[in-house]
Structure 1
Amino acid sequence: MAESNGNGGAQVVTPPTGAPALNAMVQFTKDFSFENPNAPRSLGPQDKPPNISIQVNVNAKQLAETDFEVNIMLEGSAGQGAETLFKFELDYAGIFRLQNIPAENMHPIVMIECPRLLFPFARQIIAEAVRGGGFPPLYIDPIDFAALYQTRMAEVAQAGGTPS
């Protein structure tokens, strides 16, 4: 059964009793910055393709027993040093409700599946901002959140800690 508040809010699909469910309740931009520090000079023809650098971070915090806020932080730049074409920082988040999911599966779902659902929207925000800055849109390649998670868990295990 689908429930809606009638004003364009999140539509929540109620799973059959006891069935696992992952629902995106809301998605939003928490913080966003785009810089074009050398415009209009940077908008002219370039001698060589720009050096593009992108960093990705995923953070999560539990809001209630079944609700989690998950953030994707994307930072990037094109160019080098004084020849920077553009820079961006995006903190894109969502509130997710996880129901009837075994405890041992909660952390991987929050840190892999939730960012995977958010990423296409964050990618589009970046592409449109770069295009609006006078450059061809930057379409970030898909991110393997499972590989990022496994790498992070290996780092935590090597340091002797436990995942948060």
Structure 2
Amino acid sequence: MTDQFLCDLTRKLFFSMSETDQSTPPALPLAVNLQYTRDLSFEVPAGAEIFATLRSQPAIAVNIDVQASRLQDDQSVYEVTLAIKAEAKEAPETEGGVPGRTVFIAELAYAAVVTLTNPPQELIEPMLLVEVPRLIFPYARNIISDVTRDGGFPPIVLQPIDFVALWQAKRAEFPQTAGNA
């Protein structure tokens, strides 16, 4: 369903644009103006003690969220923020350590400022909450990997995220806000 959704989205974007001018290849109605680290935090609550007692791979929980907001009411300029939180805890079967103790917490808010140029109304929300996060995810993944490695732990390599499923889950959870990207 995800691949089909992205194919349909791409077809709609190119089809709606190709009706206007056949002489030039269509460009996506989406421009990434800039992307940046909005907030970054890495904590090792137990300090150096954790390195002495950690004997096994910690259990890592990753939470992902996407937010979008219009920057100016009279323009189609938006800020899209991809929030990633990775929390590692000592595994329950840890010997010599404290099972469940937090090993580290990595939090990243990675944002992009984008401009949408005359997109069909029904595609604004999926462009902001699916396509833009898909474009900026590799950069955010690299930052999380680097910060955990630089923090003295094996790097976290985040697997690709199904942003369509994330968007659909958010729409199901908050149906009253659907369409208000």
Residue matched to 1:63: 71
- Which structure shows the higher helix fraction? 2
Match of 1:92 among 110, 113, 132: 110
Q: Tell me if the contact between 1:123 and 1:140 (Cα under 8 Å) persists in the aligned partners.
A: yes
Structure 1 position 162, deviation (Å):
3.4
Matched, 1:143 2:143: no
Q: Deviations over 1:34-91 (max 9, x none)?
A: 0112232222473332110111111110123221100011112111476221101111
- Which structure shows the higher strand fraction? 1
C-alpha spacing 1:139/1:75, structure 2 compared with 1 (3 Å) = same
SS at 1:33 equivalent: strand
The structure that has the greater radius of gyration is 2
SS at 1:87 equivalent: strand
Matched, 1:33 2:41: yes
- Identity percentage over the alignment? 37
Output the aligned Cα RMSD.
Answer: 2.2
Structure 1 position 128, deviation (Å):
0.6
Match of 1:74 among 69, 84, 95: 84
C-alpha spacing 1:24/1:45, structure 2 compared with 1 (3 Å) = same
Unaligned residue ranges in structure 2 (runs of 5+) = 1-20, 91-98
Structure 1 position 143, deviation (Å):
0.8
Unaligned residue ranges in structure 1 (runs of 5+) = 1-14
How far apart in 2 are the matches of 1:50 and 1:19?
45
State how many pairs are aligned. Answer: 147
How far apart in 2 are the matches of 1:90 and 1:156?
24
Residue matched to 1:121: 139
How far apart in 2 are the matches of 1:121 and 1:40?
29
Counterpart of 2:69 in structure 1: which amino acid? K
Structure 1 position 138, deviation (Å):
0.7
Q: Tell me if the contact between 1:20 and 1:100 (Cα under 8 Å) persists in the aligned partners.
A: no
How far apart in 1 are the matches of 2:78 and 2:30?
11
How far apart in 2 are the matches of 1:45 and 1:162?
46
Counterpart of 2:177 in structure 1: which amino acid? T
Q: Tell me if the contact between 1:19 and 1:100 (Cα under 8 Å) persists in the aligned partners.
A: no
Residue matched to 2:121: 103
TM-score, L = length of structure 2: 0.73
